[in-house]
Amino acid sequence: MNEYNNSLESPESIGLLAALAGVNLLIVIVILVLVLGGLWKIFTKAGKPGWAAIIPIYNYIVLTEIIGKPIWWAIMMLIPCVNIVFMFLVYIELAKCFGKDTLYGILLVVLSPIMIPVLGFSDAQYTPPSQQSI
């Protein structure tokens, strides 16, 4: 009998696991490219450099500039647990800057891999916070 019988160490099992890992990696890369592309478009619509979307921490600073909030909001997004609250606040304000409602901002946080590219690649126009109607 085969010494690998009913084992995850068989060559077939290892090959299958490697293939699944490769597919998983490909899916993650596609999602990452879509989200970064969406953020890049959001930044350029707001008159900021698109490349800022791919720089960790700096992209938080640019987001707070886009929504007209002080830089300490970006710092708050780096603090565990507090960052959850501030992500919601930032993305709700971002949605408002693009003429969307609070629910859209909540969805930007909860369904980021879908909603960020949707906002970025849509025809939504940026309105600076100081020019928004109340």
| Domain parsing of the chain, residue ranges | 11-131
Question: Is pLDDT of 118 > 70?
Answer: yes
Cβ burial of 2 (10 Å; 0-12, 13-18, 19+) is: exposed
Each residue's pLDDT tens digit, 70-86 = 999 999 999 999 999 99
Each residue's pLDDT tens digit, 20-50 = 999 999 999 999 999 999 999 999 999 999 9
**Mean model confidence pLDDT for the chain:** 91
CA distances from 131 to 44, 80, 128 (A): 18, 33, 5
pLDDT score of 132: 66
Measured CA to CA, the distance from residue 77 to residue 20 in angstroms comes to: 34
